[in-house]
Every structure is written in structure tokens, then in C-alpha cells.
């Protein structure tokens, strides 16, 4: 059963984030087959898949505690980070921080947060 949970994880990372009505009527694997590897189709994020897995694990955990199933196959399954290196957020470098914190708004703005206006 554990392999099935891993397959769920891998499959959902290929699932589109939004679908047209005609796709919504299809089974999951048919949707994935239909959208294929189209780069214009936005996929579920690892965070969204993790949220789904937590919900699934919760339901299966309840079923396990109430003797409907012997074990929770979704327990401990986490999605891999499916983001490419190009999509990963890069930290600010020193020049960026100097530009931000050296700006007039920051330098000359009030230090007391309660005295800052809406434009701050």
C-alpha cells in the first residue's frame, strides 16, 4: 500500500492546478494524460499536494483508529520539491539590501511604527 501512496504523490505533482470543465469530468489519470507535458499548464505545487496528502492521511488515520483499515498508507509521505532551479527564490544579495534599506523612504521615515503613514 505504501507504493500506492508514493504513486499518489508523484501523480498529483503532474496534475493541473486549474482545469476546464471538460477535463474536470475525466478521471485523474486521464486528465494527466490529456495535458501531458505541456509547459503552459500550471501544475499543483508541492505545497498543495502536501495539503491534500495531510487531508488524505487524516481520513485514513481515522479509518485506521476505527479499525476500517490496518494501517495508514499515507503516513509519512511527503512530496518532493518539484520546482526547477529557475523557479526557486534567490536570497537578496548585499547590493539589493543596500538599495532597499538605503532608500529615502527607509532612511528618512519615522522609526516609530505607529507614526508611519499609509505610504510607508
pLDDT in tens, 47-86: 888 888 888 889 999 999 999 999 988 877 765 555 555 5
Q: What is the pTM of this model?
A: 0.54
pLDDT of the residue at 119: 62
Domain assignment present for 90: no
Domain assignment present for 62: yes
Query: How many domains are there within the chain?
Result: 1
Domain assignment present for 50: yes
Sign of CA dihedral 41, 46, 19, 33: positive
Cα–Cα separations (whole angstroms), residue 99 to 1, 18, 104, 112: 53, 38, 10, 22
pLDDT of the residue at 3: 54
pLDDT of the residue at 4: 63
pLDDT of the residue at 87: 61
Amino acid at each position: 500500500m505504501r507504493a500506492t501512496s508514493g504513486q499518489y504523490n508523484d501523480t498529483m505533482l503532474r496534475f493541473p492546478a486549474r482545469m476546464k470543465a471538460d477535463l474536470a469530468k475525466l478521471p485523474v489519470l486521464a486528465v494527466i494524460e490529456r495535458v501531458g507535458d505541456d509547459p503552459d499548464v500550471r501544475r499543483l505545487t508541492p505545497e498543495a499536494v502536501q495539503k491534500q496528502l495531510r487531508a488524505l492521511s487524516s481520513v485514513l488515520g481515522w479509518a485506521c483508529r476505527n479499525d476500517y483499515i490496518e494501517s495508514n498508507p499515507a503516513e509519512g509521505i511527503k512530496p518532493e520539491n518539484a520546482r526547477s532551479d529557475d523557479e526557486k527564490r534567490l536570497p537578496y544579495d548585499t547590493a539589493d539590501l543596500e538599495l532597499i534599506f538605503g532608500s529615502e523612504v527607509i532612511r528618512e521615515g519615522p522609526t516609530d511604527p505607529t507614526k508611519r503613514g499609509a505610504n510607508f
